[in-house]
Amino acid sequence: MGKTILILGGGAGGLVAANKLRKKLNDEHKIVLIDQNDFQLYYPSLFWILEGTRTSEQISKKLNGISKKGIEFHQEKITKIDVITKQVEAGENIHSYDYLIIALGAKLNYEAVPGIGPKNCLYVLPGILNLREQLKTFSGGKVYLVVSSVPFRCPAAPYEAALLLDDYFRQRGIRDKVDLRLFTAEAQPMPVAGPKIGTLVRKIIEGQGVKYHPTVKLASVDNQNRKIFFDNGDNFDFDLLAIVPPHNAPEAVRDAGLLGDNGWVLVNPAIMETKYPEVFAIGDITGIKLPSGKPLPKAGVFAHFEAEVVAERIAAEIEGKKPVAKFTGWGSCFLEIGGGKAGLAFGNFYANPDPKVIMLPPMKLWHWVKIIFEKWWFWKWF
Ligand SMILES: Cc1cc2nc3c(=O)[nH]c(=O)nc-3n(C[C@H](O)[C@H](O)[C@H](O)COP(=O)(O)OP(=O)(O)OC[C@H]3O[C@@H](n4cnc5c(N)ncnc54)[C@H](O)[C@@H]3O)c2cc1C
């Protein structure tokens, strides 16, 4: 009897899972992928739009091409997940499944902070395109990046944004006219990677003259008067502002009874299965507590490797074999620093008692590896 594997979300995790399952299972089994968008945006290249080396078209790719590989694609908004009846409501349709993979990512919660929205968001296309437009005529002033709360996607990204903006202003010869600051709710950069890497990244950004304000919580933004307010009573005038909004789990999973106390989907960290058999969750939507007590960072690299593990386990089970694949917590991440250079951090995030992560110094090689990976991503999965 053919089985149906339903994958919710066509982002980093969902797309890899769909491809891997299609490769492993014969046509008797149906692989169905649902996403509210008909395209995937490749986030690691998003900030290259700011400096003008990428356009939005160059970093987005249509998802419907996967139907040629034998993966059924539906562009629909998922509104309900029922793990008891094994059905998912999406758009006008109800989809039944034998196995479910939830890869719906993290939702940006603009409602949580008055005055924030897609137009001043560092993490979405409208925000990046708006910032790019403003940068074209910008001749100096106060440029602030604000991470409003934790957890957020890609712990390195706000630091990359600060360093790429620093580089951009230097290239335009206006760096001395720009007061570039990064405000964040974190106590240090990339806290899960440990104090050594945090100190190193802080040294890199401060070495470039970026003023760093850790442990501050954004309370509100007054766009008309160009002011930001923090919980501790501090407020600052700005000229250009880009915010990382609070993240939370999308509504559909909140109502499905899958969330833990931390507000994210609870899974077995080795096999990514939820408390319901045949229901798996991968990527940013999960809340995995590390031995150190800190959460596993939300990053595409983890979504990718978790997707491979889940695909292997489901395929093995369907074929009557013993599933053996396990997610080990290994991950890596580039840190773009501008000037065509990047650092590379990597290691075992599941190590006990603390993640064992090292960072290789910034050099041109890692920047080029990041570019090659971008090309490989579009070639491999679509
Ligand atoms: C600027 C930036 C740079 C980054 N750089 C890196 C990097 O260099 N390396 C790295 O490892 N990670 C990076 N990340 C993080 C990475 O992009 C995410 O961790 C990764 O995309 C998570 O994959 P996912 O599959 O869990 O979720 P996503 O990729 O977010 O996919 C979720 C999908 O679900 C869909 N969806 C959500 N709700 C619904 C619904 N109700 N109905 C239908 N569809 C829905 C969405 O449309 C989306 O396509 C970066 C992130 C940002 C913002």
The reply to whether 121 and 100 lie within a common domain is: no
User: Nearest C-alpha to atom 53 of ligand 1 is from which residue?
Assistant: 123
Pair (176, 241) in one structural domain: yes
Determine the distance separating the centroid of ligand 1 and the alpha carbon of 107, expressed in angstroms: 9
Nearest in space to 332 (alpha carbons), one of 193, 158, 196:
193
Q: Identify which of 7, 40, 42 has the alpha carbon closest to the alpha carbon of residue 21.
A: 7
Q: Report the CATH number that the domain containing residue 22 is assigned in CATH.
A: 3.50.50.60
Cα separation, 369 vs 375, in Å, equals 10
pLDDT at 1: 86
Cα 49 to Cα 55: distance, rounded to the nearest angstrom: 6
Q: Is 35 in a helix, a strand, or coil?
A: strand
Asked if residue 161 and residue 53 are part of one domain, the reply reads: no
Decide if pLDDT at 276 tops 90: yes
**Does residue 131 belong to any structural domain of this protein?**
yes
The residues lining ligand 1, judged by C-beta closer than 6 Å to any ligand atom, are: 9-14, 34-37, 43-44, 46, 77-78, 103-105, 123, 153-154, 157, 250, 252, 283-285, 298-301, 303, 333-334
Under DSSP, is residue 23 helix (H, G, I), strand (E, B) or coil? helix
193, 222, 247 - which closes a domain? 247
pLDDT at 270 over 90: yes
| Residue with tokens 């007061």, as numbered in its chain | 179
Q: How many domains does the chain have?
A: 2
Kindly state the helix (H) or strand (E) to which residue 12 belongs, with its residue range: helix 12-24
| Ligand 1 mean position, distance from CA 35 (Å) | 12
Q: Do both 221 and 126 map to the same domain?
A: yes
Assess if residue 241 is contained within a domain.
yes
Same-domain check for residues 176 and 192: yes
Determine, yes or no, domain membership for 233: yes
77 sits in the region (left: phi over 0; alpha: psi -120 to 50; else beta) called beta
Same domain, 112 and 140: yes
Q: Which residue has the tokens 């990597």?
A: 346
Structural domain of 233 = 108-247
What number is the average pLDDT over the span 340-363? 96
Q: Which residues of 208-237 are buried (b: 16+ CB within 10 A; e: fewer)?
A: bebebebebbbbebeeeebebbbeeeeebe
Residue bearing the CA closest to ligand 1, atom 41 = 78
With a pLDDT cut of 70, the percent of the chain lying above it is 100
Q: Are residues 81 and 47 in the same domain?
A: yes
- pLDDT tens digits, residue range 295-348? 999 999 999 999 999 999 999 999 999 999 999 999 999 999 999 999 999 999
Digit-coded pLDDT (tens) for 135-187: 999 999 999 999 999 999 999 999 999 999 999 999 999 999 999 999 999 99
Are both 86 and 116 inside the same structural domain?
no
Give the residue from 218, 247, 276 where a domain finishes: 247
Domain boundary among 329, 353, 368: 329
At position 197, the amino acid (one-letter code) is: I
Distances (CA, A) of 15 to 256, 327, 369: 22, 17, 22
Q: What Cα–Cα distance (Å) separates residue 42 from each residue in 31, 96, 282, 349?
A: 22, 29, 17, 24
- Which ligand 1 atom is nearest residue 40's CA? 49
254 in a domain, yes or no? yes
Examine residue 153 and state whether it is found in any structural domain, yes or no. Answer: yes
Do 234 and 174 lie in a common domain? yes
Centroid of ligand 1 to alpha carbon of 102 (angstroms): 12
Q: How many CB atoms lie within 10 A of CB 38?
A: 13
Tell whether 336 is covered by a domain. Answer: no
Both 23 and 100 in one domain: the answer is yes
Verify that 60 and 13 share a domain, yes or no: yes
For residue 78, is pLDDT > 90? yes
Q: Atom 8, ligand 1: which residue's CA is nearest?
A: 44
- Structure confidence by residue, pLDDT tens digits, 121-132: 999 999 999 999
The label of the residue with tokens 């039944």 reads: 96
Query: Residue whose CA is closest, atom 7 of ligand 1?
Result: 44
Average pLDDT on 225-249 reads 98
Is-contact 86 97, C-beta < 8 A? yes
- How remote is the CA of residue 284 from the centroid of ligand 1, in Å? 7
pTM of the complete model beyond 0.95: yes
Residue 378 lies in a domain: no
What confidence score (pLDDT) does residue 102 get? 98
Nearest one of 325, 264, 274 to 298, comparing CA atoms: 264
Task: Answer whether residue 340 is part of any domain.
Answer: no
Does 209 share its domain with 294?
no
State mean pLDDT over 36-61: 97
